[in-house]
Amino acid sequence: MSGLEIALANLTSAPVLAFVLGILATVVKSDLRLPDAVYQTLSIYLLLGIGIKGGVALSNSSPAEVALPLLGALILGAVIPAVAFFALGFMTKLDAINRGALAAHYGSTSLVTFTAGVLFLESLQLYVEGYVSTLLAVLEIPGIIVGLALASRGLKRKVSWSESMREVLTGKSILLLVGGVLMGLTMGASGYSQIEGFFGALFPGVLTLFLLELGIVAGKRIRDIKKGGIGLVVFAVTFPLIAGSFGVLTGHLAGMSVGGSAALGIIAASASYIAAPAAVRLALPEASPGVYLSASLGITFPFNLTVGIPAMLAISQRMEGVF
């Protein structure tokens, strides 16, 4: 399949089309919205389902198989936010606090971007290591910590680290992801077979509904992009490709498959808009939500959903012959 065919397959997938529909709903000023209770239920379903499937896959993987990818994920989690922080210093006029807030978002991960990417890779019948969702959970935390640490250099007060880390570790994203992984490890494949119909066949449809709502949210954030200037727009488009390429390279160096390396690249390219905003809001109230949310959710998320995901696969396929 050519690069153009891969890109078209992604753009015409149900989740991506639902996201576009959500954006169009804001353009025509429709009152279309999912009820908050439904949105929360869908997010819990996705987080728990990803965690459980990752835990089941991890139970079937040897420590030797997982060791290098886990180490690579930890390194990416520390390096990506640091690079983002200093790149923003060259590309924007933002202060250290807002640069650190953005670094925390880009160092952390997006579950929905990852989920859409994996479903896309699987639709092309590409093998993706099941433990990749464990790497998602591993990458979630260090990116936020490094971003907050860099931002704290611009503060005249002390950051409440204990409170901030409690927000991260007990927040819905980490609790459900890690809890789901532990559940999957414990129940194994035999236990998962009893709930596979719920967390398997229904998963693409639930993701489609979730992305419809995110399209609406992203559409309302687009107007805030001007607060960051053209430099922020350029960063929000180019940095995911750079970080994602490092993710793909890390996957190949760790011995992962083409699909698995592409999935790790998708994780590295993504920007958080669930866990990171909660931590940043608590630790860095001085940072502007209009800047970090418009960049991560208004620019990078739709860019990754439409361009970044097939780009990571193309990069992974190019690297296949090298490793």
pLDDT bracket for residue 155 (50, 70, 90): low
Environment class of 214 (CB within 10 Å of its CB; exposed 0-12, middle 13-18, buried 19+): buried
What are the pLDDT digits (tens) for 4-45? 666 677 777 888 888 889 889 988 989 888 888 888 898 889
Its domain, for residue 309, covers 3-320
Return the structure tokens found at 238: 């180019």
Mean confidence (pLDDT) of the chain: 86
What are the pLDDT digits (tens) for 92-114? 988 888 999 999 999 989 888 99
Please check whether residue 13 is in contact with residue 205, taking contact to mean a CB–CB distance below 8 angstroms.
Answer: no
CATH number for 237: 1.20.1530.20
Q: What is the amino acid identity at position 93? A: K
pLDDT bracket for residue 320 (50, 70, 90): confident
Environment class of 24 (CB within 10 Å of its CB; exposed 0-12, middle 13-18, buried 19+): middle
What global pTM score does this model have?
Answer: 0.85
C-alpha closest to that of 208 among 47, 34, 29, 15: 15
pLDDT at 60: 82
**Structural domains of the chain, count:** 1
What are the pLDDT digits (tens) for 229-251? 899 999 999 999 999 999 999 99
